[in-house]
Amino acid sequence: MLKITTMFHHVKELQFNARVSKPDVRFAKLLLEQFGGPNGELKAAMQYFVQAFGCRKSNPDVYDMLMDIATEEFSHLEIVGATVQMLLTGVNGELKNAADESDLTKMLDGKPAKENYIHEAMTNPHFFVVSGGTPTLTDSVGNPWSATYIMGMGDLTADLRLNIGAETSAKMVYQNLMKFTDDPLVLESLRFLMTREVAHFQMFEAALNSIQPNFPPGILQSDPRFSNKYFNMSNGKDFKGPWNEGKSPEMGEDWQYIASPLEHVQQTNGLLDEKAKGTERTEKSVQKKNKSISAKRKAEADKAAPPEKGVMSW
């Protein structure tokens, strides 16, 4: 028997008091990118929500954080949806004014709004024609939201890095969206949402740092023969930097710069005779660490699994 006690509770106020100065059909369409797009709020909410299931017992602190942030992302989805709806003020009513000819020209201060509206409807007919002037779970050009946007590897160190990337992408989308509206109230909401992406980035980064060891992602360690090799794989002017000289940032190994990869591959029998250089790690030490981390992760998973008196409780 499974006992599940999780509960969602909707509060009828928005997390941030989203406001709009005037309708803007075209920006409403652009804003759909953060409603149902690959970097939008629904993607983030579902990604963190799904990832949390795997660490409920083994890492309850990270589970708590993931659920908190996932729930906040749902609140951001509500802010975006509310803003889209406000930006479409007038459209919904005109679409329902079936008895008389609709006058959409009033919506954009005398501009040829009806022609613009028809153009927008042609590029995203589902949003304007099928939905009747309400937000749709699509991106800005009408592609439907898909679960293929969700990324998760079942390993916290990998998932948290994926989430840092997701927050980075979402932050950039909001930053770019801010260039396409001059409504100060809309900009106020976008800035809030953009800022929360920055906050979440730091939360995921801090959570990642709290898990040790956390590099490389997963359990198995890398081959010391190849972990610090930099292959100069392009012709032209070469550049040096912390990515190919000095010490590697995570493992502290000395970068080995391979200036002529073809010659190097030929000399090492297709890298089969490659030797580890610039590192203290050996094949023996790698296998020892593989076993120790595997045992640690297994113990964490086993500790989370056993039922109590034949009952598994969430």
Which tens digit of pLDDT belongs to each residue from 258-282? 999 999 999 999 999 999 999 999 9
Residue 67 has what pLDDT?
96
Residue 146 has what pLDDT?
97
Half-sphere exposure of 83 (CA within 13 A, CB side): 34
Candidates 1.50.10.10, 1.20.1260.10, 3.40.190.10, 1.10.3720.10; correct CATH number of 2-210?
Answer: 1.20.1260.10
Please state, in angstroms and rounded to a whole number, the distance separating the CA atoms of residues 87 and 181: 11
302 annotated ligand-binding residue: no
Task: Give the tokens for residue 57.
Answer: 């017992």
Give tens-digit pLDDT for 187-239.
Answer: 999 999 999 999 999 999 999 999 999 999 999 999 999 999 999 999 999 99
> Is residue 306 very low, low, confident or very high in pLDDT (cuts 50, 70, 90)?
confident
Residue 164 has what pLDDT?
98
Distances (CA, A) of 116 to 29, 100, 104, 274: 12, 20, 10, 64
Place of tokens 């997963």: 218
With a cut of 50, say whether residue 104 has pLDDT above it: no
Q: What are the residue boundaries of the structural domains of the chain, listed by start? A: 2-210, 229-313
Helix (H/G/I), strand (E/B), else coil: 231: strand
Please state, in angstroms and rounded to a whole number, the distance separating the CA atoms of residues 144 and 101: 31
Residue 169 has what pLDDT?
98
E strand or H helix that includes residue 229: strand 229-231
234 annotated ligand-binding residue: yes
Please state, in angstroms and rounded to a whole number, the distance separating the CA atoms of residues 160 and 204: 6
218 annotated ligand-binding residue: no
Instruction: Please give the biggest Cα pair distance in the chain.
Output: 82
Please state, in angstroms and rounded to a whole number, the distance separating the CA atoms of residues 223 and 59: 29
The pTM (predicted TM-score) of the whole model is 0.86
Task: Give the tokens for residue 99.
Answer: 């008895």
Helix and strand numbers (H, E) in the chain are 11, 4
Contact 55, 165 (CB under 8 A): no
167 annotated ligand-binding residue: yes
Residue 100 has what pLDDT?
46
Task: Give the tokens for residue 128.
Answer: 């304007």
Task: Give the tokens for residue 137.
Answer: 């779970």
Give tens-digit pLDDT for 1-52.
Answer: 444 446 788 989 999 999 999 988 889 989 999 999 999 999 999 999 999 9
Task: Give the tokens for residue 182.
Answer: 């001059």
Mean pLDDT (whole number) for 283-304: 92
Please state, in angstroms and rounded to a whole number, the distance separating the CA atoms of residues 272 and 290: 22
200 annotated ligand-binding residue: yes
> Is residue 115 very low, low, confident or very high in pLDDT (cuts 50, 70, 90)?
low
155 annotated ligand-binding residue: no
Give tens-digit pLDDT for 231-251.
Answer: 999 999 999 999 999 999 999
232 annotated ligand-binding residue: yes
Residue 102 has what pLDDT?
46
Helix (H/G/I), strand (E/B), else coil: 246: coil
Residue 311 has what pLDDT?
84
Mean pLDDT (whole number) for 250-261: 97
73 annotated ligand-binding residue: yes
Distances (CA, A) of 126 to 59, 97, 264: 42, 19, 56
Residue 261 has what pLDDT?
97
